[in-house]
Structure 1
Amino acid sequence: MTPTPHLLVERHDGVAVVTLNRPEKRNALSPEMVVRLAAFWQSVADDDSVRAVVVTGAGHEAFCAGGDLGTLIPLMMRTRAPQDEWEIQFAQDRKQLHAALLRSASFFKPVIAAINGNALAGGAEFVMSTDLRVMSDAATIGVTEVRRGLIASGGSLVRMARQVPWAHAMELLLLGEPVGAERALAMGLVNRVVPPEEVLPTALDLARRVSLGAPVALEKTKEVVVLSSGRPLEEAFAIETRCTKENAATEDAKEGPRAFMEKRPPVFRGRAAR
């Protein structure tokens, strides 16, 4: 019998849906999942048919419980030898974990998190890498690494205080205690809180609405926000100016105003002007 993949990917109508698929392990990050995720982000970055990505977990118990303490973490700490092909691939390049969690400033397609259940440790860090977040009212989220003698290294130490006020950020990072959905919403950590059965449909609706935008315009908008964060104003404005010029050189930048004047929906193709 063929083993069930630890990561499932579907693509339809401009939206890719990625499901962390280890519900029996609370969707903890395994070497296989990390390797597959890293490869997925690389492939979708150049896939013009994908305008937005939705990330979720299988089941209702967990979005992601972080790194698997029995497989992934020992491999990272070099206290366990690789035992299968996925573990060998991960051990050969441990930086794949950062790629899997989007710990970079180079992926500019919009990403929506459908937080179907608890998002803890690396799972919470994964959420921090996304742009829009829909959370189950039964879920919790927490950067819990300090309670295990570890430090959060999936990007949240850098991102947290840029995304929520300082006091909220330090509460989450230093206490290491999960917070419920309503508290996460009040902190500004998530966009929507809905019943469990509405999490994925709500995230898919947001992705559909996002994908109505022009592909290059969407990516350039995110690029400016990401790359200008924390920079002096003049440097930030220079990034905005560059991306504005690059977007203006697309067919879509001409199609959008033309469609508005002609009172019809625009047909965006994500191509440079000819």
Structure 2
Amino acid sequence: MAVVETEKREHVFIITLNRPEARNAINGDVAEGIEAAIDAFEADDDLWVGIIASSGKVFCAGADLKAISSGDAGRLSTKRGGFAGIVKRERTKPLIAAVNGAAVAGGCEIVLASDMVVAAEEAVFGVPEVKRSLVPAAGGLFRLPRAVGPAVGMELMLTGDPITAQRAHDLGLVNYVVAQADLMDKALELAGRITANAPLAVQRAMQITKRAMVDSDEELWKASTDAMRYLGGTEDFKEGPRAFIEKRAPVWKAK
């Protein structure tokens, strides 16, 4: 049984963590599996949006402590992706986290590395590392306060206490909170709303939006101009107005 499973649904690529017996904790095999899945996602021009999900009742409990105690800690990160093969990975395509249960420690950092979040009502989010004399060093220290604001980010960081899915939604970390049974349907619905749009435009918009909180306006103006210049040379740039004039749905080629 693969610890990371993948599935293609038209233009959507689903990555599923599949270690429910270990609360989907990250060991070397999972980290390598996630990295390989992202490699496949990025390499396939017909895949435009990804979803990362988990089997069982827990999204991800973070690092596998058994792997660490056995001396296998080095495999929990990959050269390209960092922890879990994802937190430092440069991606060009949007990734939705479908969070079915607890996303804590490194599991929360996987969520923070994603671009959008759909959460089940039972989901909780937290970075409890300080309770064990650690810090969330896989992106949580800076991504969490960016996502929920500096004051709440500081509280979550220093107390190590989790928050509910609804609280995470109210703070802006989560896009949608739904019943457990509706989780994947909602994630796929959100993915479908994105794949209805021109994929290259979506990718450029995502890349610049992710920089909005850290780059200067001058850098962002240049990036915006460069994005329009790039899109102006693509086939899809011509297809959009043509489809509007012909009163039909556009047929995107990602070219």
SS at match of 1:107: coil
Q: 8, 16, 24: which is aligned to 2:21?
A: 24
Change (3 A) 1:243 1:98: farther
Q: Indicate yes or no: 2:98 matched with 1:101.
A: no
Contact 1:101 1:129 in 2 (8 A): yes
Q: With the length of structure 2 as denominator, give the TM-score of the two structures.
A: 0.94
Aligned Cα RMSD in Å? 1.9
What are the Cα deviations for residues 180-234 of structure 1, in whole angstroms up to 9, with x where unaligned?
Answer: 1111111111011111111111101111111111111111011111234312211
Residue 41 of structure 2 is matched in structure 1 by 44
Contact 1:114 1:200 in 2 (8 A): yes
Where does structure 2 lack aligned partners over 5 or more consecutive residues?
none
Question: Where in structure 1 do 4 or more consecutive aligned residues deviate above 4 Å?
Answer: 91-96
Contact 1:116 1:196 in 2 (8 A): yes
What are the Cα deviations for residues 58-115 of structure 1, in whole angstroms up to 9, with x where unaligned?
Answer: 02x20111010110x34xxxxx445xxxx89x389566434722324x3121111110
Residue 162 of structure 2 is matched in structure 1 by 178
Q: 224, 238, 241: which is aligned to 1:257?
A: 241
Residue 124 of structure 1 is matched in structure 2 by 108
Q: 155, 175, 181: which is aligned to 1:197?
A: 181
Deviation at 1:43, TM superposition (A): 2.5
SS at match of 1:62: coil
Contact 1:20 1:58 in 2 (8 A): yes
Deviation at 1:243, TM superposition (A): 1.5
> How many residues of Structure 1 are paired with residues of Structure 2 in the alignment?
255
Q: Following superposition of structure 1 onto structure 2, how do residues 230-269 of structure 1 map, counting pairs within 5 Å?
A: 230-269=214-253
Matching residue's letter, 2:14: V
Matching residue's letter, 2:34: L
Change (3 A) 1:257 1:110: same
Q: With the length of structure 1 as denominator, give the TM-score of the two structures.
A: 0.87
Identity %: 36
Query: How many Å separate the matches in 2 of 1:81 and 1:98?
Result: 16
Change (3 A) 1:140 1:25: same
Query: How many Å separate the matches in 1 of 2:228 and 2:140?
Result: 29
Residue 77 of structure 1 is matched in structure 2 by none
Q: 64, 67, 70: which is aligned to 1:68?
A: 64
